[in-house]
Structure 1
Amino acid sequence: MGTSGTFGGSKNGLVPSWVDEPASPPAVAPDSAEPDSADGDGIGGPDQNGETPLAQPGATPAQSYPPIPRIPASSRLGGARGNMTRGARTSDERALRRGAGRYVRASGGGRSTASRMPNSRAMAGGVAGLARSFANQGPAEALRRFNLEGMAGAPAEDVFVALTDMLCPAGGTIDEAIARDAMLETVADLAASGVGNFDELSADNLREFFIGVVSRSIEGKILNEVGTNAIAAPSDVAGVERAQAMLHDFIEGCVRDEFDARETDLSDLDAAVVDSFVDDLYGAALDLVKALGDDG
């Protein structure tokens, strides 16, 4: 599995804010409802006007159903967290991979996990569309759809930071923060590689940038939901950076393998299929994370 790209990883990668999402309350089936005519005045139900419903001959009393059992997130993701913590503390790459794979499995598989990343998929779709237009229409036209055509000759990192603000402004939901962090971390990778102005980018540069955004967003999703206090477990900074680098290389390798299997450089994609291409790539890459994690 390939893990190296045209530009290397950030030397000072941004660490995402890992926030556990609160568990949802257990679902309760609704009580059996009597027709409105069972109400004393025939208008509304007893909870609307304070009346006691009239007993109907032979009617079965309404019953409350017990809550539907729900596995707490802490239990559902316990195996993933345990492996992630062990991998971080001991620099065990197999445990880190297993933790990522078990997270995807516990989340219902690749497509189910990807469906909960709408902002990340939208961000990656914007980058894919930009790469397609760049190759077929030129840098200025590629940026025109984002009202950034005047930045065609600007430094590439400045253009992508502006694009980030257009596609995903600061503030908002956790998923929006994950998408934004993924884009900015990939911009940092691009800047570290020494790429010059935007209009000088090659098809390889744009492909690597797209793969970086997809990889970083998946990595951020896993760290946000599983990695709280796990990757931060080592007492030394070097240990934290080593664990993050191992996890990133694994996920990027999965994304790259699935991208390469589709035999495209983004320029040949029809505009109408860009979103479905991105959705399919996310789902397949996450399924590969699950499969290879299980083998670890």
Structure 2
Amino acid sequence: MGTSTPFSGPKSGNPLVPDFVDDDTAGAAPPTAPAPQDGDGVPPVPGAPAPRPAPMPPPMPDRFRSARRNFTKFASSGGSDRRALGRAVSQYVSQAAGGSVSAARRMGSSRGAAARIAGFLGDVGSRGLQAALATLNMAGLAGRPAAEILSALVEHFCPEGGSIDEGIARDAFMETVIDLADAGVTDMANLTSEQMRTVLELYVAHTIEDRIYNDVGIKGVEVPSDINAAEAVRDQLHDFILGGVADAFSEAAIDFAAIDSTALGQTIDRIYQAAFDILEALGEEESQK
């Protein structure tokens, strides 16, 4: 189980949200008082500094332990212990990630990439593939298969960086491209709104899946030595996450024919938070069966 950005898992004392993942207000220039009018003789009063984002609560000690234990139990069963899968996912969201809000905030690079992908798909839907590609200086890709077009746009959607967060966003995008043919998405010029949604659902699901792999820790979970059993474990986890993400998109009801680019980032943020909420609930339900 894992991605191309293997990681042994974060320490339990690490912050739930890394320092580089801030609210939109972080880094904004502090307001300044208006300049005095001629003859005032009153020096300007320095403006108050911009408020810092509210600090996240301290992480729970050993917050990954229960999720790791249940992921190991699920993996060791070859995918047959669905109750362990449910407990693992539910505990990951509620304990390891610190709840859906914190979990969504930790997907900084993935959320940004998802918004860029959604914006491009919306542009294709409203202006056509040729015009959308021309905006990115990629008009020569028109007429190519969907997987080839999107692969060529990876640098636009997911710029390469050195952090785990950026690696997850990029890795998940390439996994999504691989899945496109099986999902029936082959012709970018004639994408339906449903196919656009499928692309985004696959991407968001892969980012969450990769985030879990890295958080729980590849070295911290024992996987079956049998290749078929290992693939069954991977496929079940992916399908479980994809189901929760699909429900979140259903609630969001994005209209790609009239997508609001100004609110796109907020829409993606809500989808991620809703997905984690749903996954926690689905996991709890599965653990009780």
TM-score category (smaller protein): 0.7 to 0.9
Does structure 1 residue 89 correspond to structure 2 residue 90?
no
TM-score normalized by the length of structure 2:
0.76
- Provide the secondary structure at the position in 1 that maps to 2:6: coil
- The structure-2 alpha-carbon separation of the partners of 1:148 and 1:287, relative to structure 1 and needing over 3 Å to count, comes to same
Q: Which runs of 5+ in 2 are unaligned?
A: 16-56
Kept after mapping to 1: 8 A contact 2:2/2:218: no
**Corresponding residue pairs, total:** 241
Contact 1:16–1:224 (8 Å) recurs in 2: no
1:117-266 correspondence to structure 2 within 5 Å = 117-193=107-183, 195-229=185-219, 232-266=222-256
> In the alignment, residue 287 of structure 1 is paired with which amino acid?
D
8 A Cα contact 1:97 1:250, kept in partner: no
Residue-by-residue CA offset, 1:20-79 (whole Å, 9 max, x unaligned): 2356679xxxxxxxxxxxxxxxxxxxxxxxxxxxxxxxxxxxxxxxxx98655xx21100
Residues 131 and 207 in structure 1, CA contact (< 8 A), matched pair in contact too: no
Q: Which residue of the partner structure matches residue 5 of structure 2?
A: 17
- Contact 1:232–1:240 (CA<8 Å) still a contact in 2? no
After superposition, the Cα gap between the structure-2 partners of 1:147 and 1:22, relative to the gap in structure 1 and judged at 3 Å, is farther
Larger radius of gyration: 1
1:105 aligns with 2:99: no
Q: Secondary structure at the match of 1:76?
A: coil
Tell me which amino acid in the other structure corresponds to 2:181.
A
Letter in 2 for 1:109: G
Distance 2:109 2:168 in 1: 8
Structure 2 Cα separation of the partners of residues 14 and 155 of structure 1: 28
Q: Report the Cα offset of residue 16 of structure 1.
A: 4.1
Aligned to 2:34: none
Which range moves more in the overlay, 193-202 or 214-223? 193-202
Aligned to 1:287: 277
Structure 1: state its 5+ residue gaps.
1-12, 27-67
Partners of 1:25 and 1:285 in 2: how far apart? 24
Q: Distance in 1 between matches of 2:3 and 2:157?
A: 21
In structure 2, what residue type is equivalent to 1:95?
A
Conserved? CA contact 2:90–2:280, under 8 Å: yes
Q: Partner letter of residue 79 of structure 1?
A: S
Q: Output one character per residue of 1:168-197: Cα deviation in whole Å (capped at 9) or x when no partner.
A: 234421111111111111100113456444
Alpha-carbon spacing, 1:157–1:220, altered in 2? closer, same or farther (3 Å):
same
Letter in 2 for 1:158: E
